């Protein structure tokens, strides 16, 4: 019986590469964004509020990242039956808003990225640009 498993984790170099790619994509789209990257346990590894991004979007971006890391799927995949109650039940740590994506490489979930301040489609696009920068699976 195995009592341990090998894990992968995102390095600070990976976090910086993701932030740079997200900033570049948001700048290209003309939509300043809040970007939060968390590890598999939901702890923040990096975050940035671009100049001009909505300051409260930093909270939603963090919730999106934590949601994606927790459910290992896009934050928008929260089931309809619990969408309304999930923020209250988790003290704002989870959300069903689009823009949170899991960070998966070779079948391993390393964490999540959350992006907020644009439309849901813009947020997902920026998050996917960050995933692509490190060779992670796109959602």
| pTM summary value | 0.96
pLDDT of residue 98: 98
Gap between the Cα atoms of 127 and 15, Å rounded: 12
pLDDT band of 5, cuts 50, 70, 90: confident
pLDDT band of 2, cuts 50, 70, 90: confident
Where are the alpha helices (H) located in the chain, listed in sequence order? 12-29, 57-71, 86-89, 120-133
Is pLDDT at 76 greater than 80 in this prediction? yes
Share of the chain above pLDDT 70, in %: 100
pLDDT for 18-46, tens place per residue?
Answer: 999 999 999 999 999 999 999 999 999 99
Please tell me whether residue 44 adopts helix, strand or coil conformation: strand
- Smallest CA-to-CA distance from 119 within 50, 26, 2 is with 26
């Amino acid at each position: 019986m195995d009592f341990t498993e090998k894990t992968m984790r995102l390095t600070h170099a990976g976090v910086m590469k993701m932030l740079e790619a997200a900033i570049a994509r948001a700048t290209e789209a003309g939509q300043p964004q809040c970007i939060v990257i968390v590890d598999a346990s939901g702890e923040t590894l990096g975050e940035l509020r671009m100049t001009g991004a909505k300051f409260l979007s930093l909270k939603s971006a963090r919730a999106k990242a934590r949601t994606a890391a927790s459910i290992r799927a896009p934050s928008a995949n929260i089931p309809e039956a619990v969408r309304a109650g999930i923020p209250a039940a988790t003290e704002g740590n989870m959300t069903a808003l689009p823009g949170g994506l899991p960070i998966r490489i070779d079948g391993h979930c390393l964490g999540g990225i959350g992006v907020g301040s644009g439309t849901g489609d813009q947020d997902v696009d920026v998050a996917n640009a960050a995933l692509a920068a490190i060779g992670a699976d796109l959602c």
